[in-house]
Structure 1
Amino acid sequence: MARQLILDLHVRPARGREAFFVAPANAIAVAQVEDWRGWPGGKLLLIGPEGAGKTHLVHVWAELTGAPVVQAADLAQADLPALAAAGAVAIEDADRIGGDGPAETALFHLHNLLAAGGGALLLTARGAARDWALALPDLASRMQAAATAQLNPPDDALLAAVLVKLFADRQLAVTPQLIGYLVGRMERSFAAAAETVAAIDREALATGHRPGIRLARTVLDKTASLAR
């Protein structure tokens, strides 16, 4: 069958609480985020690898609190008093601003404004605050003193749920057999799950075949050959 033109269609991820699957690998972190009124010092660092669900959980928390969600790199241009006035703020990718003077300074001031007003601050990162290479000692000390919630690598149940959600985000209906096949053979990481689903979607569009085990085998074989 001739390969078809692939259209780059927009994927709409579901980010509500009902779409967030709780498993042993993330249950403690979910409980910590939802217990936001009890955070020591009013702040929490949510740490985990790419694709671990940090952004999804941040949006769950934002729905609970009414918090705006801001990329750390955009803080230098943000209206900090207006953000702090919301009473709760979520900052994504805080570990990416180390050495960015204006962004570090803005995060430091926002932290202090929220602390002074009894507000809450949720920050996401890929690793611990000690590894963020922050140049401001006062900011580094405050981040390192914050409570931490860790999103761990997925177990079978969580990886399966993530795959189902990723396919659903692309409006693709798949069978339990396909999910079981992928869980038993793909790299066990959230990033690999996202890449695998995207590759299966592309292959399905290009060949005109529905996603199934045969198509998934082709995609995984291609991925393995490229990795050699």
Structure 2
Amino acid sequence: MAEQLIFDLPVREALGREDFFVSPANAEAVAMIEGWQDWPSHKLVLTGPPGAGKTHLVHVWAKLSGARIVRAADLTNADIPELARHHIAVEDCDTIAGHHSTEEALFHLHNLVLAEGRSILFTATKPANLWNLSLPDLASRMQGTPASPLHEPDDTLLGVVMLKLLADRQVTPTPNTVPYLVRRIDRSFAAARDVVVRLDSMALSSGRPINRTLAAKLLDN
């Protein structure tokens, strides 16, 4: 069978609270986001592996609080005093280690947000003591910030994540496809995302539906 043309269609990621499945792997973090007005010192670090749902929860929090969202790496060129007038979520904070100007920008944003009586949410893949920040004052403030982890998924959550990733691509697998995959892939968000991307690509190129047979072929390859 000749391979079909593959069109690079946008993936529309669902980021509402109703789209976030709560399990023991993330229940603590969800409770902290929903109870954000009671955060100690008005700040929180949300940690977890790639694909764990940090960005999803950031968007949930932004909707609850009216917060703005910014990437830590973009703070160098940002208007820090203007940002500090709002609740603010800063994503990927562990990626700026060693970038002195960006670390300084995050330090000033942290202080100004709290001085304005606002709240600030940070995300990272690992705890703040492992960020290797070069600015001692920033490091001490981050390590003193309450943290809530998102853990690697159990089987139930892994299956739900895969279904959501497929739904984001406007794809509906047959009922036995995802349970089949969950039993055979690594129990991680990264593995789930990788399998979904490759499975969708294989389905598009072959013109075949996403079912257990196609999933088995993917894993065999």
**Deviations, residues 134-181 of structure 1 (Å, cap 9, x unaligned):** 111010000000101100110111111101100100000123211110
Q: CA deviation at 1:42?
A: 1.0
In structure 1, the partner of 2:149 is: 150
CA distance in 1, matches of 2:210, 2:51: 22
Identity between Structure 1 and Structure 2 (%): 56
| Residues in 1 aligned to 2:115 and 2:208: alpha-carbon distance in whole angstroms | 58
Alignment match, 1:159: 158
Structure 2 CA distance for aligned equivalents of residues 185 and 98 of structure 1 = 36
1:117 Cα deviation (Å)? 1.5
Measure how far apart 1:73 and its partner are: 0.2
Aligned match of 2:183: 184
The structure that is helix-richer by fraction is: 1
Matched, 1:219 2:218: yes
The corresponding residue for 2:52 is: 52
Q: Deviations over 1:37-70 (max 9, x none)?
A: 1111111000000111100010000000111110
d(CA) in 2 for partners of 1:175, 1:112: 51
1:29 is aligned to 29
Q: Given residue 133 of structure 1, which amino acid in structure 2 is its aligned partner?
A: N
* 1:79 to partner: Cα distance: 0.9
1:5 maps onto 2:5 in alignment: yes
| Shift of residue 9, structure 1, vs aligned partner | 1.3
Deviation at 1:213, TM superposition (A): 0.6
Equivalent residue for 2:171?
A: 172
Supply the AA of the counterpart residue of 1:103: T
For residues 175 and 164 of structure 1, the distance between their equivalents in structure 2, rounded to whole angstroms, comes to 11
Q: 3-state SS of the aligned residue for 1:162? A: helix
1:83 deviation in Å? 0.8
CA distance in structure 1 between the aligned counterparts of 2:122 and 2:220, rounded to whole angstroms? 38
Give the secondary structure class of the aligned counterpart of 2:74: helix
| Separation (CA, whole Å) in 1 of partners of 2:63 and 2:92 | 19
1:82-97 → structure 2 map (5 Å cutoff): 82-86=82-86, 88-97=87-96
Instruction: State the one-letter code of the partner of 1:108.
Output: F
Q: Measure how far apart 1:192 and its partner are.
A: 0.8
Which amino acid in the other structure matches residue 104 of structure 1?
Answer: E
Superposition TM-score, scaled by structure 1 size: 0.95
Moved over 4 A (4+): none
RMSD (Å) for aligned C-alpha atoms: 0.8
Aligned to 1:199: 198
SS in 1 for 2:70: strand
2:66 match: 66
CA distance in 2, matches of 1:131, 1:106: 19
